[in-house]
Amino acid sequence: MKLNKFEFEEVITETSVNTVCALISRADVYELFKKHNATPKNEAMEPDNNYTEGEIQFNYDKEDGSLFEILVFPIYENDDGDIMNGDFLNITDTNDLDEDYIKQADEELKKTLEREQELDI
């Protein structure tokens, strides 16, 4: 599936897994959830179509560097203006994304890990 929007947001390496996060459009979230007959849910796990955009998280094993999980989250803004991820949709084994997005995430992680190694983080 080609996405309308795919912008890298951050790479998280301080947890038990390495995670590459990319923002996607509201329409992309809608299409992915629709394809799986799933309903986007807010942080309270209630069905909620008031999300503003979405996030894809590519999760990599710290030991062998393999991609083991791809999750899609709707993103909501609460009454205080805080940004919250809703309940995720696991698209790991679905081939929903064009391979190019996965390659881009792999490259983004590789660049981040190289930068961190140079900085000795």
For 79-99, the pLDDT digits (tens) are 888 999 999 999 998 889 999
At residue 14, the 3 state secondary structure works out as: coil
Does 48 map to a domain? yes
Does 110 map to a domain? yes
Q: What is the tens place of the pLDDT at every residue in 49-76?
A: 999 999 999 999 999 999 999 999 999 9
Does 45 map to a domain? yes
The whole-number pLDDT of residue 79 equals 83
Does 2 map to a domain? no
Does 1 map to a domain? no
The whole-number pLDDT of residue 111 equals 96
Give the Cα separation of 55 and 53 in Å (integer).
7
The whole-number pLDDT of residue 121 equals 54
Does 72 map to a domain? yes
Query: Burial of 103 by CB count in 10 Å (0-12 exposed, 13-18 middle, 19+ buried)?
Result: exposed
Q: Please list the helix, strand and coil fractions of the chain in percent, rounded to the nearest 5, in that order.
A: 25, 35, 40
What residue type is 50 in one-letter code?
N
Range of the domain at 68: 7-119
At residue 32, the 3 state secondary structure works out as: helix
